[in-house]
Amino acid sequence: MMGKTKFPIPNEQHMMRRFDIVMKMRSIPLKGAFGFCKFIVDMVHLHTVTCILANGVFMESVLSIGTSEGIFTLSTTTATTPENFSSSDESSSFTVSYLINSCGLSPESALSASNKVRFKSASKPDLVLHLFRNHGFSNTQIANLITKHPSLLLAKPNKTILTKLEFLKQIGFSEDDIADFLSKDPTFMLRSLERTIKPSCEYLKSLLGTNQKVVAAIKNSRSTWIFQFDLERIISHKVEILRKYGVTEGNIVKLVTARTRSLGNKDDKFEELVGNVSEMGFDPSSSQFVHAIDVLAGMKSDTLEAKLQLIASHGWSRCEIALAIRNQPVLVAL
């Protein structure tokens, strides 16, 4: 089948705009061979492009530019699947189509995700999507999950996903909480329930006292960082250092759940950091104490001194600088 269509030649700026528009209008490249091919041509600015559609149809598109008339001609030909059409190509094509039509990904995100996961059948991915939808995940939340971690589509639904959803419900998460929490940071689903997730929650409970407070702390955390390691093994000694300096349990939890840089320090470096914050006059019962720990973590002493001298050069006394920093620790991070 042959088709020929003429279009005005867009300038480079318009080509980029056109590309942005086409990427957003996902129906255009998938509504037919012509539209999809034209999308590819616009995207890569090639005169000739060969592509494989989701249904296995082979297409070759030839773009010829007529500068005198200010038009270009796009000719398309379609044929049956060629002999050299590999199973890898077929798998990639099917995956991209599935990611767009079943998972709600944009064409750009689907192409990127297809480099990380491929499948020839929808049976396993369908089970995963069905599980998420049955547990209250919206289409947008599912798209976020799959965009960030497309490998979830090939996970074992009951063993890898369901057990973790049930555990979160068990400690007090609502269905809406779970969907919101995991769609923002799906790395939780990649952690071991027995080796990492449960021990970390048990350690948080030992700090906070109740599952209700554990749930609140997890929901208020910036990410699922607290589930990436055996939390007790990594930070238990640091917690004791904070207690020694009089830091309240509530502020300790803020530091733990906020994924601060300071917790990546070795124990001796961390104790030195906490000591420096104490010497600067911060009240250990104040949230500014742990804020200062976070701000100063990783900052070399000569860097800090240079910043203090810069502030002093504007007429501030050491006492005024110390007071300002105690009120706003972020001042030294500017």
61-109 pLDDT, tens digit per residue, is: 333 333 333 333 343 333 333 444 344 556 688 999 999 999 999 999 9
Nearest-angstrom CA–CA distance, 22 and 280: 56
> Within this chain, do residues 197 and 290 fall inside the same structural domain, yes or no?
yes
> Within this chain, do residues 159 and 218 fall inside the same structural domain, yes or no?
no
Per the structure, the count of domains in the chain is: 3
Alpha-carbon distances, residue 52 vs 25, 57, 75, 169, 185 (angstroms): 20, 6, 16, 44, 33
Q: Is 137 among the domain residues?
A: yes
Q: Is 308 among the domain residues?
A: no
Q: Is 334 among the domain residues?
A: no
Indicate whether 282 pLDDT > 60: yes
Confidence bin at 294 (pLDDT 50/70/90): confident
Q: Average pLDDT for residues 310-331, to the nearest whole number?
A: 87
Nearest-angstrom CA–CA distance, 65 and 8: 10
For 31-59, the pLDDT digits (tens) are: 344 444 444 444 444 333 334 333 333 33
Indicate whether 259 pLDDT > 80: no
> Within this chain, do residues 205 and 136 fall inside the same structural domain, yes or no?
no
Going by C-alpha positions, the residue among 259, 258, 332, 267 that lies closest to residue 302 is 332
> Within this chain, do residues 100 and 64 fall inside the same structural domain, yes or no?
no
Indicate whether 254 pLDDT > 70: yes
pLDDT value at position 89?
Answer: 55
Percent of the chain with pLDDT over 90: 41
> Within this chain, do residues 98 and 185 fall inside the same structural domain, yes or no?
yes
- Residue where one domain finishes, among candidates 84, 109, 132: 84
| pLDDT greater at residue 42 or residue 15 | 42
Calculate ∠ Cα 270-275-279, nearest 5°: 150
Q: Is 317 among the domain residues?
A: no
Q: Is 313 among the domain residues?
A: no
pLDDT value at position 88?
Answer: 56
Nearest-angstrom CA–CA distance, 297 and 249: 20
pLDDT value at position 260?
Answer: 67
Confidence bin at 171 (pLDDT 50/70/90): very high
The pLDDT mean for the chain works out to 76
Q: Is 318 among the domain residues?
A: no
> Within this chain, do residues 98 and 79 fall inside the same structural domain, yes or no?
no
pLDDT value at position 223?
Answer: 65
Type and span of the H or E element at 171: none
Nearest-angstrom CA–CA distance, 63 and 71: 11
Burial of 258 (C-beta count, 10 Å sphere; 0-12/13-18/19+): buried
For 174-222, the pLDDT digits (tens) are: 999 999 989 888 889 989 999 999 999 999 899 888 999 899 888 877 6
Indicate whether 304 pLDDT > 70: yes
Indicate whether 135 pLDDT > 90: yes
Percent of the chain with pLDDT over 70: 72
pLDDT value at position 311?
Answer: 87
> Within this chain, do residues 185 and 159 fall inside the same structural domain, yes or no?
yes
Confidence bin at 250 (pLDDT 50/70/90): confident
Question: Taking a C-beta distance cutoff of 8 angstroms, is the pair 72, 9 a contact?
Answer: yes
- Which residue range forms the structural domain that includes residue 90? 86-190
| pLDDT greater at residue 138 or residue 77 | 138
pLDDT value at position 48?
Answer: 33
Tokens of 41: 């041509």
Q: Average pLDDT for residues 150-177, to the nearest whole number?
A: 95
Q: Is 21 among the domain residues?
A: yes
Going by C-alpha positions, the residue among 236, 173, 231, 174 that lies closest to residue 201 is 231
Type and span of the H or E element at 75: strand 71-79
Q: Is 289 among the domain residues?
A: yes
Q: Average pLDDT for residues 254-279, to the nearest whole number?
A: 85
| pLDDT greater at residue 22 or residue 131 | 131
Residues sharing a CB contact under 8 Å with residue 259, sequence separation 6 or more, in sequence order: 221, 222, 223, 225, 226
Q: Average pLDDT for residues 27-31, to the nearest whole number?
A: 37
> Within this chain, do residues 94 and 174 fall inside the same structural domain, yes or no?
yes
Q: Average pLDDT for residues 227-237, to the nearest whole number?
A: 85
Lowest-confidence segment of 86-100, 121-135, 145-159, 286-300 by average pLDDT: 86-100
pLDDT value at position 129?
Answer: 97
Going by C-alpha positions, the residue among 85, 89, 154 that lies closest to residue 116 is 154
User: In sequence order, what DSSP letters do the residues of 259-289 get, joined into one string?
Assistant: T-GGGGS-HHHHHHHHHHHHHTT--TTSHHH
Residues sharing a CB contact under 8 Å with residue 291, sequence separation 6 or more, in sequence order: 329, 330
- Residue where one domain finishes, among candidates 190, 219, 248: 190
